[in-house]
Every structure is written in C-alpha cells, then in structure tokens.
Amino acid sequence: MSMTNFSGRLAVITGGGAGMGRELVRQLAAEGCHVAMCDLNEANMTETRELALADAPTGTRVSSHRCDVSEPDQIQAFRDAVLEAHETDHIHLLFNNAGIGGGGSFVKDPVASWEKTFNICWGGVYHCCRAFLPALLAADAGHIVNTSSINGFWASIGPQTPHTAYSAAKFAVKGFSEALITDLRINAPHIGVSVVMPGHIGTSIVANSGVVLGRSPEQMTSDEIGDLRDQLAATGLPVGNLPDDAIRELIRQRARDFRDNAPTSAAEAANVIIEGVRAGRWRILVGEDAGIVDHLVRSDPEAAYEPGFVTRMMEQGHLQQLMESTGSTTRSES
C-alpha cells in the first residue's frame, strides 16, 4: 500500500542529525508530518530541528532523542520517549537511516570496529523494527523504510580497499526488507516496506564514522597514522615521507571530498526516498550511479569483483569521485 499524504502523520527517523536523515526530517516536516529523530550528536539534532521547524506548518512537532542504535536497550528507551513526547501509542513511518562506515577488513581491522559498524548498520535496523513494530501495528497505515546501499548488492568500494562490515550489514538490510514484503502482506497488510539503495550521496558519513569509531584525525595515535600511511602507500599514493599532520589533513580532505563532490546531494536523495514511499515502491534506487552499478552487477555478476569492473564504471562516468575520496583507486586498473 502507499501513503500519499504525510500531513499529520508521525515519522521516526534514525540518524537525523545530518545528511539524508536531516533532509528527511526537514522535507517531511515541511509537509506537516510530525517527526521524532535520534542521533548521537545532540548539537546536530538541535540544528536539524531548528531548520525543520522554520519551514514547517504551525503545529508541526519535531522531537530529538539521543540514541546509539547499536544498543538495543537505548532503542527501547528511544521508542518509549517518542511515544511519550508525541502523546501517542502509534507511529506511521519508520526510517531506519543511521549508518557509519568502518571495519573494512575482516582480517586486519579491530573486532570492535567491525562489530560497531555492523551493529549500527544492521542491528539498528533490526532492533528499531522490533521496537517500533507494535506502534506501527497500532496505526491505521504504516511504512518501514530501511536504508541499504549499492553495497547491499555490490560488496566493494574498489579493488584496493576491503569493505566487509558495511557491505555485510547492507546485504542483511536488503534481504530482511525484501523478506518483509511477504510477511507484512500476510500478517500486517496496512504496513508497507521499502529498501533504499543509495549510490554516492553527499553526506558527512566519512567524517562522522571516524568520530564514532574513535578514528577521527584528531583521535588517531602516531602508530595508527603510521599504519594508515602504509595502507595508502600500498595503493600507490606517494605518502611515504609525509608527516603525521599531513596524513591527518589528507583524511579530512577526503571526508570533505566525499561530501562536497558527490553526484547526488543529501536533499536530492531524501526527495527521491520520500517520493518512492509516496508511490508505494518497495525498491528505491538513489542516484544514476546506483542504477548503473545495479545493471552491471546483474549483467555480469562473476566479474563484479575484478579490477576491470571498476574501470568499466569509471568509463561510463560513475564512481570516480567515490573511489578517489576513499582512496580505493589511485592508478589505472584493467
């Protein structure tokens, strides 16, 4: 089923402090949809709320709640706080949007980094769906929107960079969401579900992920910087003699490049998602690059993890900026 009118509805949005989450809050509130958001960064949520209310009709309510979605107990407390703040027993929309990147290598990265990434990107979706399901069931109509990624059907950001925790989580989100289509149709037909598959979107996920995992440029030790220098040098970058501060600035610049040079902005992505929900679509690709990667993976899955696969994408004008900002390609591959 589709929910064409969001005015007067109540939407719960995780990761509402920045990026696509912030834009979802702003655009839904502008339609008169009440919103409850969570994030780890309270200052960012305060800014999101102010921006949203500035464009929202009088009477629209926007609440903010600090919550680490990798922690089930915090999600339960978030759910209780939302229902109390909005004086209700039901919600209409659940946007499981929160996510970070990290834990790229299953072999070499710390277990804590791997599991934190997985537990936010997958566990946050699962536990939020569990926690808010009774409130969705109590509504006259509902919709669950789970954010996966192009890494939910292509587990790579290039041949030089492992990407295991995030990709595993996003594959799980995709499979869970698709399985819910039948489950909800049989057992809760008034609730719809969509899985969102964004390509490269201009957000601060690279910088924010470093903060959450304790690996922002300011937090990294000299030994960690040295390990990163070795990793970058192995991809062909001439960084062997760069001092620690120069490596830190390189990290900051890559985060800025990821945000500022993306082919699709966070606002554009949020609009695509909202219109997809309005149309009742269960699969929402965001960005032309997402469509191209989807097509190439489906047409030749055996080649998807060969170096030449990325070369073909770049020849079509896609993912060059993503690869450069993540350091995934620094030389021609074929």
In whole angstroms, what is the distance from residue 281 CA to residue 284 CA?
Answer: 7
The per-residue pLDDT string of the chain (334 residues; one tens digit each, 9 = 90 and over) reads 578 999 999 999 999 999 999 999 999 999 999 999 999 999 999 999 999 999 999 999 999 999 999 999 999 999 999 999 999 999 999 999 999 999 999 999 999 999 999 999 999 999 999 999 999 999 999 999 999 999 999 999 988 889 999 999 999 999 999 999 999 999 999 999 999 999 999 999 999 999 999 888 899 888 888 888 887 777 778 887 888 888 899 889 989 989 999 999 999 999 999 999 999 999 999 999 999 999 999 999 999 999 888 888 777 766 666 665 555 543 322 1
pLDDT of residue 332: 28
CA distances from residue 123 to 69, 107, 230, 306, 311 in whole angstroms, order as listed = 7, 21, 32, 30, 33
Here the tokens at position 289 are: 């690059």
Digit-coded pLDDT (tens) for 230-240: 877 777 788 87
Run of H or E residues at 259: helix 244-260
H-only helix segments in 31-155: 42-55, 72-85, 111-118, 124-137
pLDDT of residue 231: 77
In whole angstroms, what is the distance from residue 202 CA to residue 263 CA?
Answer: 7
pLDDT of residue 322: 65
Q: Which CATH class is domain 10-203+264-319?
A: alpha beta
In degrees rounded to 5, what are phi and psi of residue 13? Answer: -130, 120
pLDDT of residue 334: 19
Domain range list for the chain = 10-203+264-319, 214-261
In whole angstroms, what is the distance from residue 15 CA to residue 299 CA?
Answer: 34
pLDDT of residue 330: 37
pLDDT of residue 169: 98
